[in-house]
Amino acid sequence: MKTIIAACSQNLSGSRASIQTALRTLLAAPWPSQRDVRSWLQLLSVLQWVLSFLLLGTVSLLLLIYLVFTSFWPISALYLAWIIFDWDTPEKGGRRLPCLRRWPVWRHFRDYFPVKLVKTHDLSPSHNYIIGSHPHGILCVGAFCNFITGSTGFGEMFPGIRPFLTTLAGNFRLPVFREYLMSGGLCPVTRRAIGYLLSKNGTGNAVAIVIGGAAESLSCRPGVTTLILKNRKGFVRIALQHGAYLVPSFSFGENDLFRQVVFEEGSWMRSIQQRFQKMMGFAPCIFYGRGLTSVRSLGFLPYARPITTVVGEPVVVPKIEDPSCETVDMYHEMYVHSLLKLFNENKTKYGLSETDELHIL
């Protein structure tokens, strides 16, 4: 018995010593610095954004389909009834929530790259505007951060102006994802939706359109500044019909966030991408960025590269209900000239060289 008691005492003493050693080691370990914590928060904010845009709609749709075959089928039925009842809301200005624009996570999202907004001219609240956003890039980070979140100070720079951002109409057919998009101020890139914001929502509205669209994303790569714009004139016609001023904007650094496998024009892979884009509205790009664990690993997160969005001088547009093709061409040419001026005056300030040119296709 004495032997057993002695053995137990020895084990308890050893256990206490081990626990004390572990505690001393834990306390001696360096705690994360404020800089490390900020870096983690920035990375997580970008992660949730990327996952939301790439997976939220698809996962929600699959989940609702799965619930149909379970005892929770009323959830799917009720949500389907809600979508039918709420079907036209995206085309009528959406349902934006100011609290979402002020969400603190967007400040960490902004600081990850970082994203900066530069104002060159005032925008009067007595007019409506169509802001052309260039270039498209892969995920339109600059356009989203500046026109949807309040983190870069759009409201303070342009008082009285309500910004909206357009995206593919198909995104508003996906359950839950449509609510997420509308709450931020996104609307479908359709004539009806844009026309509603420019005619039935008062003045002081600025509708941002990423004019190059999915076709432009196929040419997105670092060091290349090619825009699909020469034959994109629908936004000019809408501006004329509603008397909305045209405002060019350019996000320097947008094309540096990802690496993309770019297939040459005429190749069979490029033709598949273009056909898919015409059928579905978006292009299947093969791209990669950094991983979650380190900058050197490969993944789907954007690289931390600075993005500076410069908003240029408005092109004054008259209201013409049925503009002729010649009038549309004239104001389209004026817009292109204003965009080229904006690019050339700012390119050396934000990472490009004097010899870099803006190619418009």
pLDDT category at 359 given cuts 50, 70, 90 is: confident
Outline where 113-167 has alpha helix (H). Answer: 141-147, 154-157
What average pLDDT score do residues 265-287 get? Answer: 65
Residue 188 or 2, more confident = 188
- Lowest-confidence segment of 179-188, 205-214, 254-263 by average pLDDT: 254-263
322 strand-pairing partners: none
Q: How many CB atoms lie within 10 A of CB 164?
A: 24
Contact by Cβ (8 Å): 132, 250: no
pLDDT at 28 over 80: no
φ, ψ for residue 339, nearest 5 deg: -65, -45
245 strand-pairing partners: 129
Q: What is the largest CA-CA distance in the chain?
A: 107
Q: What is the per-residue pLDDT for 343?
A: 95
Contact by Cβ (8 Å): 205, 94: no
CB burial of residue 33 (10 Å; 0-12, 13-18, 19+): exposed
C-alpha 208/C-alpha 162 separation (Å) is: 11
Tens of pLDDT, residue by residue over 135-144, are 998 889 999 9
207 strand-pairing partners: 130, 164
> Which residues lie below 8 Å from residue 38, measured CB to CB, with a gap of 6+?
108, 111
What average pLDDT score do residues 293-307 get? Answer: 89
Domain boundaries, the chain: 35-360
Kindly report whether the peptide bond that precedes residue 188 is cis, defined as omega within 30 degrees of 0. Answer: no
Contact by Cβ (8 Å): 203, 125: yes
Residue 359 or 193, more confident = 193
Q: What is the reported pTM?
A: 0.86
Query: Which residue matches tokens 């900020």?
Result: 38
As a whole number, the mean pLDDT across the chain is 87
Q: What is the per-residue pLDDT for 7?
A: 43
Contact by Cβ (8 Å): 346, 252: yes
Residue 306 or 26, more confident = 306
